[in-house]
Structure 1
Amino acid sequence: MEKFKDIDTYIQEYGEKLIDFLPTLIGAVLLLLVGLWVIKFINRLVNKFFEKKEFDVTLERFAANLINWGLKIVLFVLVITQLGVESASLVAIIGAAGLAIGLALQGSLANFAGGVLILLLKPFKVGDFIKGQGVEGTVKTISIFNTHLTTFGNQLAIIPNGKLSNDTIINYTEEGIRREAITFGIGYDSDIKQAKDILLELVMEQETVLKLEDKMPMVVVSELADSSVNLSVRYWAKNEDFWNLRWHILEEGKARVEAAGIVIPFPQRDVHLYNIQD
């Protein structure tokens, strides 16, 4: 009988506590439901805002996810506080957990920070041809942690954003046009003026070479090398015409120079033998 009496006492005691706690629980549930609805509404407004503005797609997704999770964390703290957990204790727990996670994920956090910098500063965008961390390729995607490049050989290169954002980045397509300098070596006995005229005429014939007032093609003597006089063929072209133009000038330039009897030497060295007699 005493056991049943103890059970009745426990039921009565915890029942009263449950009844007292019930308004708090209902309030927390209502707060959670209303908070989720408000977050959903805010997310819609954010998405509509990005649809009207021309932002980078990756930046839009990152900002939308950051706002969404930030609001959910705030809502979680409010609900827990509504249930009676002291906010100071909760903040201490979250801070300790954040510190532990931060120490465990130092590399990932560095990549995250690098991704944020790339998205905000925009040193390049999807579709640009860049060089970074010793890799050249077309930017395929920019995620929070990594940047994906498609190399010239159609390989996928994945570069951590932490290293990429702190390294030198060369963006070949940002300006829309590029300058090229192709070197042709001719023999020391060849006519320099004739070779320059032939190469300059070839460049001027190309419709895709830009012929602007401050960007006119030129051929100059760039170096007196060991085995040749090096001529530098310099011109400007649009990004989409750059490579086809380079390949054509290299091939056609060699053919025209040789057809004119101008020698394109290969590296050579003269050796003189002396007969030294005692």
Structure 2
Amino acid sequence: MNLFEPLGDITQADNWSEIALSVGLRLAGAMVALYLGARMAKWTARLASRALATAQVEATAAQFLARLAYVLLLVVLALAILQLFFGVQPASMFAVLGAAGLAVGLALKDSLSNVASGVMLVTLKPFRVGDVVEIAAQTGKVETITIFQTRLRGADNQTVSLPNSLITAAPIINRSPGTMRRVELVIGIDYGDNIDAARQAALDVMHADPRVLAEPSPDVLVYDLAASSVNLGIRCHVDNDDWFAVKCALLERIKKAFDANGIHIPYPQQDMHLFVRNAEGARTSIGEAFTR
């Protein structure tokens, strides 16, 4: 029995047990070849990834190319198994794949757009693996960029998977390229309080924190004369990794510093005036009506 004999010649045989045995052996051989080939493809992709890293190719591009090579190797493996074990000729396979590709392309247009978007992300490089980004209201550190999706690691250690097509269609805020980030607090004080005293209290708090960078220097500006408060913009710069911790610490310490210096943070308030009409139709305020 020839395992690699064309399948059509075997199915014409009269012995059904021989046909079943031959088909079973072909299926078993195809499964073994698929398993070994997949292991080989994964090993080759890892080898390619190491070679790209040795060649100092950017980590994001190296990761994407290694995964793309793995997928292409699996496709080649499937075509080889069909030809070797089942006698499917390459010309026939390409014709079928061409016809099926059109139907699959229409059905999976969203997935194909993810692939195209993945290529754009690797080519344009709006962010790299390890960058902290904000995309579509999701913030996290980029872990992997695959053919179909990009995976982020959130601040509370959750995994966020975003389709590549969504990323290229949404604004991308990359918080990692620079070495620092600005902390900006907007705090209102009472109209009767001294602006210079409030400014000095906030500056003293920022200068006392060693995580606050000296350049650019911290500053306090009047942002707005609001309905019930004078809004101060309290600004300083810190390292990216310290931003959230410093912001929370400054809020607490500035509140305590304002309390110690007699500076008030007012509550929003409204004044209401009520009027009543007397028997003659004249309008009188509530207070005047009770004093009469």
Shorter-chain-normalised TM-score: which range?
A: 0.7 to 0.9
For 2:203, the equivalent position in structure 1 comes to: 200
Please list, as runs of the form range in 1=range in 2, the aligned pairs for 1:144-223 lying within 5 A after superposition.
Answer: 144-212=147-215, 215-223=216-224
Tell which deviates more after alignment, 60-69 or 119-128: 60-69
**2:62 maps to 1:60:** yes
| Identical pairs, percent | 36
Match of 2:111 among 102, 108, 111: 108
Query: Matched residues in 1 for 2:88 and 2:130: separation?
Result: 52
CA contact (8 A) 1:58 1:143 kept: no
For 1:7, the equivalent position in structure 2 comes to: none
The offset of 1:91, in angstroms, is 5.0
CA contact (8 A) 1:210 1:216 kept: yes
Q: Secondary structure at the match of 1:209?
A: coil
Structure 2: unaligned runs, 5 residues or longer: 1-36, 284-292
For 2:140, the equivalent position in structure 1 comes to: 137
The offset of 1:149, in angstroms, is 2.1
CA contact (8 A) 1:177 1:239 kept: yes
Structure 1: unaligned runs, 5 residues or longer: 1-35
Query: Matched residues in 1 for 2:150 and 2:88: separation?
Result: 44
Residue type of the alignment partner of 1:220: L
TM-score by length of 2: 0.69
CA contact (8 A) 1:111 1:160 kept: yes
The offset of 1:218, in angstroms, is 0.5
Query: Matched residues in 2 for 1:84 and 1:257: separation?
Result: 81
CA contact (8 A) 1:209 1:235 kept: yes
Residue type of the alignment partner of 1:129: V
Query: Matched residues in 2 for 1:242 and 1:43: separation?
Result: 38
Residue type of the alignment partner of 2:251: L
Query: Matched residues in 2 for 1:131 and 1:141: separation?
Result: 15
How many equivalent pairs are there? 237
Deviations 1:221-251 (CA, angstroms, capped at 9, x unpaired)? 0111111101111111111221221111100
The offset of 1:264, in angstroms, is 0.7
For 2:8, the equivalent position in structure 1 comes to: none
The offset of 1:113, in angstroms, is 1.3
> Structure 1 residues 138, 145: closer, same or farther in 2, change over 3 A?
same
Please list, as runs of the form range in 1=range in 2, the aligned pairs for 1:60-79 lying within 5 A after superposition.
Answer: 60-67=62-69
Query: Matched residues in 2 for 1:43 and 1:253: separation?
Result: 54
> Structure 1 residues 90, 142: closer, same or farther in 2, change over 3 A?
closer
CA contact (8 A) 1:221 1:232 kept: yes
Q: Secondary structure at the match of 2:250?
A: helix
TM-score by length of 1: 0.72
For 1:259, the equivalent position in structure 2 comes to: 260
For 1:51, the equivalent position in structure 2 comes to: 53
Query: Matched residues in 2 for 1:143 and 1:86: separation?
Result: 29
CA contact (8 A) 1:130 1:170 kept: yes
Residue type of the alignment partner of 1:154: N
For 1:19, the equivalent position in structure 2 comes to: none
Residue type of the alignment partner of 2:231: N
Query: Matched residues in 1 for 2:125 and 2:55: separation?
Result: 16
> Structure 1 residues 94, 221: closer, same or farther in 2, change over 3 A?
same
The offset of 1:174, in angstroms, is 2.2
